[in-house]
A and B are shown apart, each in its own frame.
Chain A
Amino acid sequence: MPLAPGTSHTSDFAGRSWSEAWTEGRDTPGDCIPPSMVAPPSPPPPPPDPQFVLRGARSAVHALHFCGGAQGQGHPLLLSGQGRDLRMHVWDLAEGRNAIVDSVCLESVGFCRGSVLACGPQRWMLAMPGKGGDEVQILEMPSKTSVCSLKPEAEARPGMPMCLQLWQADSSPLPLLLAGYEDGSVALWDVSARKVCSRVACHEEPVMGLDFDSQKARGVSGSAEKALAVWSLDEQRALQVHGTHQLTNPGVADVRIRPDHRLLATAGWDHRIRVFHWRTMKPLAVLAFHSAAVHCLAFATDGLLAAGSGDQRISVWSLYPRM
């Protein structure tokens, strides 16, 4: 199974308080052409350069998260991502700290990242791969009490969970979990009922990353193959494949929808970040900056995009900045 190389390493940093040591000023506003000023018939503008490049991780970057300054104030921030030591750490990042507060023991080594859902003040729900290779475990944090374990039906054989996303529908407080599996299928779990609401085969290869837009009830997933799959969720909580979008090179490590639901970014094994118009899936940009596979992406609430790559760098981009 072809998968992203490199050591498993978590690189975390807090909000917009970039430490000077990490930042290399590439603030060149002249390079960035505001897209609104470009007349349609003229040839397309050259792809932009990153706004910043963050170096010094000294290892491949496998997970990224923006921590909102305002609402994150005073909270210990939780970032998940298991290392090879079979542990998942809870970090305190408040006020510029970065100390491990607690850790959770994992029961299997895999490629799956955990997913966190805030359930209330100082309470989170954490989804992470469980034991047996095909289970997903739900924990309540910070107490670390196990809520449940989601085990697929025996005849389904979806393989390992590869990516997870916890979310809550606006209508009901019950948490739902979207899980992408090794066999290329995406399943929607009702966490409280511990059952699969719907499962749909999106890819031939393992699902490497997914993201869901609850506003449009539409999600996207990327896999080791050369295509993105866009699927939707109807009122009966049934998943339906909407269409696929072909890429130039195979392998998508991560997909992220911008918080304003207008852009989609994908991290490619071909070292490139691709940006699409989320509603129409029209390709907008191919950002070729990294010299190794891009492993992870994150959007800030203000639309800034960060990408972490196997070349040990994090690039930060400002694309179509109007929110």
Chain B
Amino acid sequence: MVDLDFSRAFTVNSRMDPVLSTVRLTVREAVHTLSSSEDGGCIFSTLGSLKRYLGETENPALPEEQEEFARIHFSTFLRCLVGKLSPDWLELLPDGQLEELWASFFLEGPADQAFLVLMEAIEGAASKVVGLPDHLGNRLQRENLAGFFPQNYFPLLGEELLQALHVVVESLRGGLDCSVSFLSQVLGKACVHGRQKELLGVLVPRLTALTQGSCLWQRVCWRLVERVPDRAMEAVLTGLVEAASGPEVLSWLLGNLVMKSKKAQFVMTQKLLFLQYRYTTPVLRSLLGYLAMDSQRRPLLIQALKELLETWGSSSAIRRAPLAQQHYISKAILVCLAHLGEAELQDCRDELLASLMAGVQSHLDSSLPAVRRLGMIVAEVASAQIHPEGPPLRFQYEEDELTRELLALATPQPAADSPSEAGPPVAPVTAETTNEEMVSSGGPQAQPEGSDSELDSDDEFVPYDMSGDTELRSSKAPVYVRDCVEALTTSENWERWEATLRALEGLIFRSPAATQEVSVELAKVLLHLEEKTGVAGFEALRQRALVAVTVTDPVRVAEYLTTQFYALNYSLRQRMDILDVLTLAAQELSRPGRRQKPPQRGPPGPGPQPGSPATPAWQAVVEERIRSKTRRVSKGSAGQGPAADPNKFNSVAGYFFFPLIQLFDRPLVTFDLLGDDQLVLGRLVHTLGALMYLSVNTMVAVPMGKALLEFVWALRFHGDIYVRQGLLSAVSSVLLSVPAERLLADLPDELLEAQSWLADVAQKDPDEDCRTLAIKALLLLEKLRDKLLPPPPP
């Protein structure tokens, strides 16, 4: 710095060399003395000699010299002076002589330069104050004192800031002007250092109490935050929003800061809403409540709502943003809506409705249930607010913690939770009166009969459990499976229809032979069955019956169902039903030790002969045994568990799996898996994964695994999260179900490709579940490799 100044001096003033050199020498000497000498007298005389250049002494320097000094050397010299400032140094001479002299340079020299140097010094001091724990920590390492640990130091700093603010307020009361810049700087620096919690944890509660009743304190606070440098504004504001206990507090502390500072406005309306999503619901409430509390700030709230809805409705955001962020934005929308009145919404109704409608559409298109549910809730609440006179929107969704939280946000907060007693006294009074009204209007009949009310204390009549009071139904279900087909198709008698549906599953399991005679017919009827009356649990009953039929006659019913999956003229619902039934049936078949021994049913083994259910029981048993023995030999390392009860899914897995995986890329007129019907594709992928998993220890697992890996490879860049999740779990299924040796022997290339894809997904996929699934699959792969390729012997 010094060198630079001198070189500039040379270039500018090359004509005045002799004068320049005198001044320069004197200054250089003085600087040297100042930095090295401990002798007070020496320092005093040196400083005194330089004083000449400022004039105003008995023996001033030449005007050229004075000008020269002021222009070139003064700031350098002042910096040196500032650097020397310390209690020890000032006490080198008694009576504050040195201090007076020191100060005189700043007061008498050119004011602009003195001011700049002092500002620099202040900033340096602020850095020192905030950096102290770090410096000490670095220096003292393990010998550091507990008082200088950041968690202790910053609360202390908070206390001191508060003290300083007290002084400021007092002097303002006394009519003196004060600056809080330095405090603002310290505050900003500490927050940038990431010490919001420690510092503001002390400061905010105290300031809350102080600002609550005093306008002066509020103004001092506003000033304090206003003067925070822009680069620290974000850190301070996020800290304040988190530490404040409600919108009122924020309003007292910040005033209309968002209107005055562009940076603050950006932080509050953009950064905290759109770019970050880690804040809790109360923080969100404080933030948006703060915007809503003042008429000047309300336009910002409306603007924020518009932007929030736009983001919420963007289909690209829905596809790419993490679920947590979508949740956060939905919450913000609901809080905004709770604050805004009808009149305000009216002005921008068309715009809001347009975003909302587009958003509902995109949300409902999503294959993730959580996203769909967010769409439903926000749509319900927002449409009721934005368009109250229209017909109310109603969706059906399951209530849970999350939905309740969201719906609770939609109702405006009661005034009760504001920390102030000075809050509007009107609210509680009105609440009470409405309560009274409700009580009085609640039981108008109860009152006229005061005469017998003392006789008739209701308390002793405790009701008994009445949960058993359900609708009575007469059971006229058919006794034979064959009759069920007729009862379900032709019956005009809905009671019989319902009773049949209820009895069907049991009937099928009781009479498997009879079921096999009509299995496909029955499956067809069930697949096309529509809910005629409001039968409770209709879907579950139908599904259980379908699963029972499939389990009883797997080959034929699975063939039927898989062809129907790709047939024309089915609804998506029916196609997904088919997938669910196949999965459940496969699960049931592969369950070891399921039910009793199979009743005299033709073994579904090699070459199942349809229509020969009369195989004697002993023959079945023998064949069963032979088959299990054969399998043991051919499989090499057969497991030990299922030997006692062979996997019934073994012989039929192919009938379930291959017809499903073959036709996925051939679009029909009504059904395009790779196009709009990605939800069904997702279900298909999951189903295939499940079937693969259930085929563990079966012969057909290897070709299935191969086909499935190829299928995954073809779809690996699919844009839908649900589909990708299915693909990833399908890979895991393959790794789990196909024997390790066969995997490496038969599918090495596929595995290698899969591995690189998995690694990519694990790092880059926007969805957290996808990343986790990919990591799981990678771990499986790793384990597999360790098992088969033991590290080379040392």
Contacts and interface: CB of A to CB of B under 8 A. Distances in A.
Interface stretch (B364-372, B467-475, B579-587): B467-475
Contacts of B456: 262, 279
Contact of A282 (B463, B469, B470, B471): B463
A248 interface: yes
Interface string A240-256: 00100000110000000
A198 to B, nearest CB: 20
A315 to B, nearest CB: 15
B449 interface: yes
A270 B472 contact: yes
Interface string A40-65: 10011111100000000000000000
Q: Which of B456, B469, B470 has the most CB of A within 10 A?
A: B469
Contact of A248 (B452, B464, B471): B471
Interface in A269-293: 270-272, 274, 277, 279-280, 282-286, 288
Contacts of A284: 461, 463-464
B275 interface: no
A262 B466 CA distance: 19
A169 interface: no
Interface string B444-486: 0110010010001011111111101111100000000000000
A320 B458 CA distance: 11
A286 B458 CA distance: 18
A44 B464 contact: yes
Contacts of A285: 463-464, 466
Contacts of B466: 44, 47, 283, 285-286
A215 B469 CA distance: 31
Contacts of A262: 456, 461
Interface residues of B, number: 19
A44 B460 contact: no
A37 to B, nearest CB: 9
Given A216-B449, A279-B456, A282-B458, A288 B464 contact: no
A36 interface: yes
Contacts of B464: 35, 44-48, 284-286
Contacts of A215: 452
Contacts of A47: 464-466, 468
B458 A277 contact: yes
B461 A35 contact: yes
A38 interface: yes
A16 interface: no
What is the interface of chain A mostly: helix, strand, loop, or mixed?
loop
A274 B460 CA distance: 18
A37 B263 CA distance: 67
A303 to B, nearest CB: 13
Contacts of A242: 445
Q: Which of A38, A272, A282, A286 has the most CB of B within 10 A?
A: A286
B468 A35 contact: no
A117 B393 CA distance: 60
Given A216-B449, A262-B456, A279-B449, A45 B468 contact: no
A280 B458 contact: yes
A216 B463 CA distance: 23
A43 B466 CA distance: 11
A43 B464 CA distance: 9
Contacts of A288: 468-469
A45 B460 contact: no
A35 B462 contact: yes
Contacts of B471: 248-249
B174 to A, nearest CB: 62
Nearest to B459: A40
B460 A249 contact: no
A283 to B, nearest CB: 6
B460 A320 contact: yes
Given A36-B460, A279-B449, A282-B458, A249 B472 contact: yes
Q: Which of A40, A48, A285 has the most CB of B within 10 A?
A: A285
B462 A322 contact: no
Contacts of B463: 44, 282-285
A45 B462 contact: yes
B33 to A, nearest CB: 88
A282 B449 CA distance: 17
Contacts of B462: 35-36, 38, 40, 44-45
A36 B471 CA distance: 30
B465 A44 contact: yes
A223 B458 CA distance: 27
A40 B449 CA distance: 25
A231 to B, nearest CB: 13
B469 A45 contact: no
A25 B458 CA distance: 32
Contacts of B465: 43-47
Nearest to A286: B469
Given A216-B449, A279-B449, A322 B469 contact: no
A264 to B, nearest CB: 12
A284 B458 CA distance: 11
Contacts of A40: 459, 462
Nearest to A226: B471
Interface in B630-682: none
Given A48-B464, A216-B449, A283-B463, A271 B469 contact: no
B81 to A, nearest CB: 79
A248 B469 contact: yes
Contact of B468 (A36, A249, A286): A286
B475 to A, nearest CB: 13
A35 to B, nearest CB: 4
9 contacts: A35-B462, A36-B462, A248-B469, A277-B458, A279-B449, A279-B456, A284-B464, A286-B468, A320-B461
Interface of A: 35-36, 38, 40, 43-48, 215-216, 242, 248-249, 261-262, 270-272, 274, 277, 279-280, 282-286, 288, 320, 322
Interface of B: 445-446, 449, 452, 456, 458-466, 468-472
Question: Which 5 A-B pairs give the minimum distances between C-beta atoms?
Answer: A270-B472, A285-B464, A286-B469, A44-B465, A35-B462
Given A43-B465, A279-B458, 19 more contacts: A35-B462, A36-B460, A38-B462, A44-B463, A44-B466, A45-B465, A46-B465, A216-B452, A242-B445, A248-B469, A248-B471, A270-B472, A271-B472, A277-B458, A277-B461, A282-B458, A282-B463, A284-B461, A320-B461
